[in-house]
A = this chain, B = another copy of it.
């Protein structure tokens, strides 16, 4: 099994086939960044159409049973998520409605502060707000995974403490291994682990050590160092791969409708164009080689399976119920 905690981009049958034949069991695609409720429902409706058209090779998963069923029937499980909470339109009751419609992962903030809390790119981080606490409680109740990847450090720590269920950093690396606002401090990763959470190591070049972009063994070495921080039960994979992304897609991620000027996020003016994937990751199927790489850097078969799928399954099980 191979589970990828976060991807982005435009999906079609070809992408599904590539992922399935590349050995992926389950991926979380990003259905939205800045969209409000109506556009978020539009995206969900289009994804349902696409999944129906490709029902022979994919299924929309709502439980670990669905993910196992996908594995058994050689299909790709799609665990749907948004990378923001704009879709809630300040309504606590929408959490339940989106969960029931199959949105199983939601990031509390994307790159900007919002009603729930602070983002990693803001100068100041208020911590988890009053509405933020309401949403965390509701996500716990209805069984939706809380994603903190782009969330500010204080808001993240507040959420780890406040949540009654494990939470996730679906796609980031340890800042001690590659300093970046989007990467996570060791103390944050430890707090996350202590509450049963998980960090998904990214392959995204802007957040990954240079050496780990050059060779698969070096990337697996980085994963091993992350395990040193988080513990073997709390590390997974969250590539942040973008399928069929173009400049317009990148612009939407960077600016939404909230700005007229480019806000580079994990990139910078010096690297304004989409970055390439690591050298060892020329196509999604290359990720299936990670299992051997993890063994070469010292992990047992059981430990490899935890990192490539087992830890995600445990967290999903605890959160989805």
Which A residues contact B (CB, under 8 angstroms)?
A: 37-38, 41-42, 44-46, 48-49, 89, 91, 93-94, 96-97, 100-101
Contact = CB atoms under 8 A, between A and B. Distances in A.
Contacts of A89: 38
Nearest to A37: B38
A1 to B, nearest CB: 28
A45 to B, nearest CB: 3
Q: Is the interface of A mostly helix, strand, loop or mixed?
A: helix
A93 B37 contact: no
A304 to B, nearest CB: 38
A101 to B, nearest CB: 6
5 contacts: A38-B89, A41-B91, A44-B97, A48-B96, A97-B101
A101 B37 CA distance: 15
Nearest to A92: B45
B37 A96 contact: no
Contacts of A41: 37, 91, 93-94, 97
A115 to B, nearest CB: 16
- Identify the interface centre among A45, A46, A97: most chain B CB within 10 Å of its CB: A97
Contacts of A100: 100-101
A91 B37 contact: no
Nearest 4 pairs between A and B by C-beta? A45-B93, A97-B101, A37-B38, A41-B97
A38 B37 CA distance: 8
Contacts of A91: 38, 41-42, 45
A89 B38 CA distance: 9
A49 to B, nearest CB: 7
A51 to B, nearest CB: 12
Given A37-B41, A42-B93, 10 more contacts: A38-B91, A41-B94, A42-B91, A44-B93, A45-B91, A45-B94, A46-B93, A48-B93, A97-B101, A101-B101
Nearest to A100: B101
B49 A93 contact: yes
Nearest to A45: B93
A166 to B, nearest CB: 25
A7 B77 CA distance: 42
B101 A45 contact: no
A39 B49 CA distance: 25
A138 to B, nearest CB: 11
Nearest to A36: B38
A96 B45 contact: yes
Nearest to A43: B93
